[in-house]
Amino acid sequence: MAELSAVLESYPVRLEPLAPHHLEPLRAACAEDPDIWQIYSFNMLDGGFDQTVAKLHSLASWVQFAVIDLEQGRLVGMTNYINPDDFGVVEIGGTYISPSVRGTGFNRQMKKLLIEHAFANGFTRIEFRVDTRNTRSMAAVAKLGAVREGTLRRNRVTWTGYVRDSAVFGLLRNEWTG
């Protein structure tokens, strides 16, 4: 896991391992789109923010990143490597980016950094698990070349109590075209 935790940068994206000085800017970024949190597994708004941050910090199987937009000079979100294993598989998820960078190519650049870094560190498969209500994220993952491999039905209860279905996408090293 230590090899995955690194500063990754390709203009205008900079990913930094999440640290205490990122928390207040992250809180502000998460508040920019309060409606989106209804489809997340966890709550990053108001009173839920501190509780979620503490819970995510306690997960030894997550490598957390602050997402910084170098053009705007500010933190605009977060992303994670989840459950890297000894068989060469890692998930990229728990990603949130502010509305100001959506639809600009920023997300693709961010995912490219994460994908290439994982492959460079010996991982051979990257997974994405997306709430099936989140059509925008599913389309973005498919544009990366990931293949939708199926749906995990009713596999996760979100912070709102909704029982979601998760679309599972896979991307193999030999499929990645950048």
Q: What is the pLDDT of residue 59?
A: 81
Q: Is residue 2 part of a domain?
A: no
Q: Is residue 60 part of a domain?
A: yes
Q: Is residue 3 part of a domain?
A: no
Which tens digits make up the pLDDT trace of 75-114?
999 999 999 999 999 999 999 999 999 999 999 999 999 9
- Residue numbers of the domain that contains 160: 8-175
Between 55 and 18, the more confident residue is 18
What are the structure tokens assigned to 137, written together? 């994220």
Q: Is residue 34 part of a domain?
A: yes
Q: Is residue 1 part of a domain?
A: no
CATH number at residue 48: 3.40.630.30
Q: Is residue 159 part of a domain?
A: yes
> pTM for this structure?
0.94
Please give the tally of structural domains in the chain. Answer: 1
